[in-house]
Amino acid sequence: HQIDRLIKYPLVRGVRMQLHWHETPAFRFAASADQVVDPKVRANVARLTDYGLSFDLQLFPAQMKDGLALVGENPETDFILTHAGMLTDMSEETTQAWKAGLRTLSAAPNLYAKLS
């Protein structure tokens, strides 16, 4: 497995997979809208605990509920919410969805926000 090769490097601390999918193609980086709930992705994220690695959770607000489930399934793994939750614009609708998503994720004690 690729992860077995990576952990040989002492500075490797975590893994990021671009799970963020958006209906606007310019913002779409994931292969599908439901990649965050894909059983293979979930199984691989679950393995990170065995290696002591964190997972950078890169999601848009519409995916945050599913993201919370992933985080909750892996309480021994630290998750890093990248780019503070991927706010894409300052419209009222988008901002409210982003705030609601952050409130949802704030229930997870093993999730941290990365401001970048």
pLDDT at 116: 74
| CA separation for the pair 78, 21 (Å, rounded) | 22
Report pLDDT digits (tens) over 10-61.
999 999 999 998 888 888 889 888 999 999 999 999 999 999 999 999 999 9
pLDDT at 28: 87
pLDDT at 10: 92
| CA separation for the pair 21, 28 (Å, rounded) | 5
pLDDT at 115: 83
DSSP string, 4-73: HHHTTSTT--EEEEE----SSGGG--SSSTTGGG-HHHHHHHHHHHHHT-EEEEE--GGGHHHHHHHHHT
Q: Tell me, yes or no, if the pTM score tops 0.75.
A: yes
Query: Which of left, alpha, beta for 24 (phi over 0: left; psi -120 to 50: alpha)?
Result: beta
The residue extents of the domains of the chain are 2-113
| CA separation for the pair 16, 43 (Å, rounded) | 15
CATH (one of 3.30.70.890, 3.40.50.1370, 3.90.320.10, 3.20.20.140) for 2-113? 3.20.20.140
Report pLDDT digits (tens) over 63-90.
999 999 999 999 999 999 999 889 888 9
